[in-house]
Amino acid sequence: MKLVSPGEAAANTNDMSVEAGEDLARIGEMAKKYGVTLRTLRFYEDKGLLNPQRDGSTRLYTRRDKARLKLILLGRKVGFSLRDVKQMMDLYDPTGSNTKQLRLALDKSEKQLARLQKQRALIEDAIGELSNSMAAVRQMLIERSPQASVAS
């Protein structure tokens, strides 16, 4: 039943001797596991955010790709653009202390936080205005149909 997990022991014409961890996933599994579409994964790759290995033409995602995808999704959740996410991830250097990367991330985060707070203010403003308008409209409806009562 396992169409997946090609890492299973023997008879692999297409061996993927990728050392230790056999946590290779194909695009369908990835999509299901992280709640994205295939198109999304290919799109992220096209944009240079992911770089899965290939077995022939089939994409194989390692746990490193999974970590990156998690980061992408977190970034999108907090409102970063894919370009921002890429910029931050591109600075990652497994041999260094990544101080620059962290500083950039922190800097971008501060700006994004400010944007979010501004957005929240705008939305609250909109909520206020909309509530006002609704009250006015309800009033007009009451005046125009004196016999009916408005629910809630």
- Residue numbers of the site for a second copy (CB under 8 A)? 74, 77-79, 97-99, 102-103, 105-106, 109-110, 112-113, 116-117, 119-120, 123-127, 129-131, 133-134, 137-138, 140-141, 144-145
Residue closer to a second copy by CB (options 16, 141) is 141
Residue 112 binds what, of a second copy, DNA, none (CB under 5 to 8 Å, by partner type)? a second copy
Q: Coil, strand, or helix at residue 25?
A: strand
Query: What would the two tokens of residue 109 be?
Result: 């985060």
Single-letter amino acid code for the residue at 43: F
Distance separating alpha carbons of residues 30 and 60, to the nearest angstrom: 9
- Cα 43 from chain centroid (whole Å): 12
Distance separating alpha carbons of residues 66 and 62, to the nearest angstrom: 6
Among 23, 34, 40, 101, binds DNA (CB under 7 A): 40
Single-letter amino acid code for the residue at 48: G
Q: Near DNA by CB under 7 A, which window of 79-87, 89-97, 107-115, 116-124? A: 79-87
Among 5, 58, 117, 133, binds DNA (CB under 7 A): 58
Residue closer to DNA by CB (options 76, 101) is 76
> Are 36 and 45 contacting, i.e. CB atoms less than 8 angstroms apart?
no
Residue closer to DNA by CB (options 81, 139) is 81
Q: Near DNA by CB under 7 A, which window of 75-83, 97-105, 118-126, 130-138? A: 75-83
Give the residue from 26, 25, 22, 18 showing the smallest Cα distance to 7: 22
Pairing of strands 58-60, 53-55: antiparallel
Binding site for DNA (CB under 7 A): 1-3, 6, 14, 26-29, 31, 36-40, 42-43, 56-59, 76, 81-83
